């Protein structure tokens, strides 16, 4: 069991639910655009948001951004310790640093002192792409063991400065190295772990890498917060993270959509319909399973495990409840009929 850490109005670790993180892709200096994106991601299910702080103006912008958002804001700092201090002074709920690129021990201590004074958690981030040369030489390349040693060295540095309000992240774009590193570090520390596959890639490859990596790690009871890193709209990260947690049984709630693969029997535009259903149910707060089936041959039978389903025929569709045909409607009304049933589910 990891220690608990308070990040703004959220608590992670200690067996608390795994929280979903993402990162804004706006210029943090643009308060209006950044706050708007954070609120959009919050509505999608984001629990904690990280913002890049590459300039002093970005650090100062956090003060105004914080007034307009409801979830904790993490300041992402590279290289300049003064930006870390300014971010905390302007209301950052947590800072993310790699002590290795902040500079001297004095500079790291300056950051730690302000964090300690304000009780702001520090996320110690180590990335396979920036592993120290001596560790690369020691382990004959970038390895899980090297990542863990690097992270624990940095944690010890901060703990020796009298501060242990920490979260650790060790990321690699190599999925299996990332899994092994988390297995190793989980047995050596009780600090909460933020888990993600870094630079995972585009929507398809990023989702597959993240689902496999996060699935293998989370299934072992390792991990307290997660991010699905995708090259795309950050709201896609939230959608994927929610689905990964739900698939693993780590999060309840929300409508789960299952659909059959298309085949020669399909008598309806199933691909379009399944996507329309998935988008339509996003705002419906039910914990049920909806099946979208392409034909009336296997539809009712295959939809038995779902709470409700639809199956397409030629110009018409069936609404199926608990495996039994409930009603027949024209194809053009199928989506709206399903939505009506979902909105009146508990009546």
Q: Any residues with CB less than 8 A from the CB of 161 and at least 6 apart, and which?
A: 108, 109, 112, 113
**How high is the pLDDT of residue 296?**
62
Name which of 169, 232, 222, 238 is nearest 197 in CA terms. 169
pLDDT (tens digit per residue) in 209-240? 999 999 999 999 999 999 999 988 899 999 99
Average pLDDT over residues 185-209: 89
CATH topology (fold) of 253-342 = Sulfite Reductase Hemoprotein; domain 1 (3.30.413)
**How high is the pLDDT of residue 13?**
95
**How high is the pLDDT of residue 222?**
97
pLDDT score of 299 more than 60: no
Outline where the chain has alpha helix (H). Answer: 31-44, 56-68, 81-89, 99-102, 105-118, 133-138, 144-159, 175-186, 203-218, 234-247, 270-280, 299-302, 334-343
**How high is the pLDDT of residue 16?**
95
CATH number of 3-246: 3.20.20.20
**How high is the pLDDT of residue 248?**
94
**How high is the pLDDT of residue 303?**
66
- Residue 51, marked binder: no
Average pLDDT over residues 308-335: 83
pLDDT score of 280 more than 80: yes
Q: What six digits make up the tokens of 80?
A: 């300049």
**How high is the pLDDT of residue 297?**
62
C-alpha 102/C-alpha 111 separation (Å) is 9
Residue 285 CB-density burial (10 A; 0-12 exposed, 13-18 middle, 19+ buried): exposed
- Residue 263, marked binder: yes
C-alpha 66/C-alpha 62 separation (Å) is 6
pLDDT (tens digit per residue) in 45-97? 999 999 999 999 999 999 999 999 999 999 999 889 999 999 999 999 999 98
- Hey, what's the torsion of the CAs at 242, 244, 247, 251, to 10 degrees? -40
Per the prediction, the chain carries an average pLDDT of 90
**How high is the pLDDT of residue 301?**
66
Name which of 193, 107, 118 is nearest 148 in CA terms. 193
- Residue 178, marked binder: no
What are the structural domain ranges in the chain? 3-246, 253-342
pLDDT score of 110 more than 60: yes
**Mind giving me the DSSP string for 25-37?**
-S-TT-HHHHHHH
**Which of 23-27, 249-253, 258-262, 341-345 is predicted least confidently?**
258-262
**How high is the pLDDT of residue 144?**
94
**How high is the pLDDT of residue 302?**
64
């Amino acid at each position: 069991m990891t220690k608990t850490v308070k990040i703004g109005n959220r608590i992670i670790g200690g067996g608390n639910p795994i929280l979903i993180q993402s990162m804004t892709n706006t210029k943090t200096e643009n308060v209006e655009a950044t706050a708007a994106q954070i609120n959009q991601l919050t509505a999608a299910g984001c629990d904690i948001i990280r913002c890049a702080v590459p300039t002093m103006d970005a650090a100062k912008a956090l003060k105004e951004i914080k007034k307009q958002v409801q979830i904790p804001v993490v300041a992402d700092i590279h290289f300049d310790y003064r930006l870390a201090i300014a971010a905390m002074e302007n209301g950052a709920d947590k800072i993310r640093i790699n002590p290795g690129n902040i500079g001297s021990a004095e500079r790291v201590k300056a950051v730690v002192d302000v964090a300690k004074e304000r009780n702001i958690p520090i996320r110690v981030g180590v990335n396979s792409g920036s592993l120290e040369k001596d560790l690369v030489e020691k382990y004959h390349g970038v390895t899980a063991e090297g990542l863990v040693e690097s992270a624990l060295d940095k944690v010890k540095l901060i703990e020796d400065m009298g501060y242990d309000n920490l979260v650790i992240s060790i990321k690699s774009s190599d999925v299996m190295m990332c899994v092994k590193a988390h297995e190793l570090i989980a047995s050596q520390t009780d600090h909460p772990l933020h888990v993600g596959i870094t630079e995972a890639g585009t929507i398809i490859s990023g989702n597959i890498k993240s689902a496999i990596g996060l699935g293998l790690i989370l299934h072992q009871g390792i991990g307290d917060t997660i991010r699905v890193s995708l090259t795309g709209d950050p709201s896609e990260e939230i959608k994927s993270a929610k689905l990964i947690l739900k698939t693993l049984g780590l999060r309840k709630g929300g409508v789960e959509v299952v659909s059959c693969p298309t085949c020669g029997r399909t008598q309806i535009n199933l691909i379009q319909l399944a996507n329309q259903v998935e988008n339509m149910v996003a705002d419906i707060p039910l914990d049920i399973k909806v099946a979208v089936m392409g034909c009336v041959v296997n539809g009712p039978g295959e939809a038995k495990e779902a709470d409700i389903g639809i199956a397409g025929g030629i110009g018409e569709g069936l609404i199926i409840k608990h495996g039994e045909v409930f009603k027949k409607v024209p194809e053009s009304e199928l989506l709206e009929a399903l939505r009506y049933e979902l909105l009146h589910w508990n009546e």
